[in-house]
Structure 1
C-alpha cells in the first residue's frame, strides 16, 4: 500500500478514530489508548504503543501514518536562547525558539510555512507563504522545544507564544485545534492562560476568537497607533484599520474578559516620538491592556533601526504615567537571528 493512501492519524478526532477502529473490527476503547499515545506521549511510531497487540499495531500501519516534525538543526545563543529549524513530513522547513528567562521557559512556535503578510520590518514577511501548518505540526514544535528545555536546562516549558513564522489567525482552525490538543487533559495538559496568540490584526478573526470564547491570551502587533504610519509598515492595516481593530478588540474583550497585550517595536525616527506615545495611550483606552515595547532587531532586507535607549525609556515612562502597564522587552537570541522578526530560513553552512 503506497503512503499516498495512508491517513495521517493525528488529523482525526477521537470520534473519527473510534469509527475507523470499529470498521476494522476493533473495540472502540482502543481509540482512547491510541489517542493518548499520539497526543499525551507524543508517539511517532505505532510500535511504541506497547499496550496494543502486535496484530492491531500492524493493522494500524496498513491504514495510518504518523507524520511528525523533526529538529533539523539548533543553535544556542549567548543568552541561552535556542533556535531550531524543524523539517516537516513534506520537506518544508519552519523555525521555533526556546526562550529561557529566570522565571519562565517560553516556546515561540510558527503557524505557517512562511507568511503572506509582508510586514516591512520582519524577515518572515519577505518569504512567500507556502502553506498553513497542521495542528499536529504546531503541537510537535511544542513537544520538541519542551524536550530542549528539559534536556538543556532541566525545566519544562511554562509558556507558549504563537509568535514564530506566519499569521496564526490566517490558519485559524489548525491554530485552535493545536491549542485544544496542547491544553487537553488527554493531550499535553497545559493551562490555556499560559498560551499567547499574536496577530498582526485581522479584525474579523479577532471577533471570531470572541465568539469562540477562547481562554488563551491575545497579543496584537501594533507598532503604530496611527493608520498612516501603520499602513507603511504593515500592509494588512489597509483592510484592517485601527478603528476596525478597536471595534474587534472591544467585541473580543466583552466575550472573553481577557485583557489584550499590545506589542510595539520602537523604530528610530519612525514611531518613537512623544506624539506616537500619545496616540498609543489613546488606543489603549479601548480595552484593558498592557504594552510590551520590543527592541527592534535589524534584518538585512529592511533599513529600519532600533530607537535610542533613552527614547525608548521616555516612551515607556509616558505610557506608565498614563496608568498603562508597560514592559520593555530586551531582545533575546539576536546573535543567532532568533529574535523577534528575524525568523527566515537561513541555513548555516557547516
Structure 2
C-alpha cells in the first residue's frame, strides 16, 4: 500500500491554478509559466533540473509539490525491433506500452487504464481486473519515455501515437482528452492531432461525446464482427452498445468532425472468416466514410481463438476491396515478446 502523500500533484494543475498556488506562496506569477514549460514542453520530472529557477523557488516547489513520474521498469526488444516496456506508476501499479518501428514511422502504443473492465474474450488485458484509470500525465509520460527509446535505439523521432494499449480510452474520457491536449498543445509536446489514433471497443454515448467535442485525432473502432450475435459472444460490451447504436453514434461523430473512421477487424478461424461475414462488414462500412484494418490475431493462453488461414484473410480483404472499401492487412509486430495487439497483460507476480 502506497502511503498518501501530502504534497500536491503539480501536473494535475492547470497553468492558471499553478499560478494561483505560487502567488499565494509569495512567488511572482510569471514563474508559473516557467514551471509549466519545464513540466510539459521539456518533460522535466525533477525540480532540481529546472535551472532557470532560483534555488529558493526550487526548494519551495519540492516542499509543496510532487511530480508523479512514470518509470520504465523493464524493456524487451523483439526480433522485429519492437520494444515492449512495463512502466511503474507512482502507486506501484504496473502498465505496458510498446514502440512499434516501421520503415516510415515510429509509433507509440500507450495504455489508458490499469487493466480493463470490458472482458473481450480474445484479449489478454480483458482477463485482468481494472484497477484504475490513468491520469493524463501518466499517459503523457508513456509517450515521452517511448519517444526517448525511439531516439536512443533507432535515432528516429516519434511520429504517431495509438491509444491501443491496456484499457478502454473512452472509459477514461477526461484523462484521455487531457493527455491529448498536453501532447498536442504548443506549450506541450506540440504533436499534430492527426498523428494520434484513439481506439475503442465501442461505447456509443462516448463516441457521440467525441463528436460534440469536435476532436481532431483519429478514431478506430475494434469491430471484429458485424452482426450482433457474433459480436456479443466475443465482446460483451456489444450487449449494451449494439451495432445499430454504434452506427448511429458513428454517423453523429462524422457529421460533427468530418473525420473518417477506421474499423479494426481480426479474422478468426471458423468464427468470422466467411464471405457472409465480409458482406456484413461491407454493409456496416456504408454508414460512414471509413477504411478497414484487418489485424492478425495473436493467440493468448487464456483463449482458444486461432488466426484464420492466410488465403481466407486474403479473400476476405479482396471482397472488401471489391466493394470500394480501403482495406489494409496488418501484420503483427512484437509477437515473440507478447507485445502484439491483444497480448498486453501484467502477470500478477510482476506487480509491485
When normalised by structure 2's length, the TM-score is 0.98
Paired with 1:118 and 1:21, the residues of 2 have a C-alpha distance of 44
| CA distance in 2: counterparts of 1:233 and 1:307, whole angstroms | 16
Q: 1:106 is matched with which residue? A: 107
Structure 1, unpaired ranges of 5+: none
Give the gaps of 5 or more residues in structure 2. Answer: none
CA distance in 2, matches of 1:34, 1:344: 35
Q: CA offsets, 1:250-304, max 9 Å, x none?
A: 0000000000000000000000000000000000000000000000000000000
Count of residues paired in the alignment: 347
Taking the aligned partners of 1:4 and 1:36, their CA distance within structure 2 comes to 24
- Mapped to 2, the partners of 1:61 and 1:71 lie a distance apart of 23
> Aligned ranges for residues 261-340 of structure 1 at < 5 Å?
261-340=262-341
Structure 1 CA distance for aligned equivalents of residues 154 and 20 of structure 2: 42
Deviation at 1:305, TM superposition (A): 0.2
SS of the residue 1:298 aligns to: coil
Q: Deviations over 1:298-340 (max 9, x none)?
A: 0000000000000000000000000000000001000000000
- Partner residue of 1:43? 44
How far apart in 1 are the matches of 2:83 and 2:60? Answer: 39
Matched residue, 1:119: 120
- Superposed, 1:188-207 pairs within 5 Å as 188-207=189-208
Secondary structure in structure 1 of the residue aligned to 2:219: strand
Q: Deviations over 1:122-167 (max 9, x none)?
A: 0000000000000000000000000000000000100000000000
After TM superposition, the runs of 4+ consecutive aligned structure 1 residues lying more than 6 A away are: none
For 1:151 and 1:163, how far apart are their aligned partners in 2?
A: 23
TM-score using structure 1 length: 0.98
Q: Residue 31 of structure 1 aligns with which residue?
A: 32
Q: What's the offset of the Cα at 1:3?
A: 6.4
The match for 1:156 is 157
How many angstroms does 1:27 deviate by? 1.2
The reply on whether 1:132 has 2:120 as its aligned counterpart is no
Q: Distance in 1 between matches of 2:312 and 2:107?
A: 28
In 2, the alpha carbon distance for the partners of 1:121 and 1:241 equals 19
Q: How does 1:181-260 map to 2 (within 5 A)?
A: 181-260=182-261
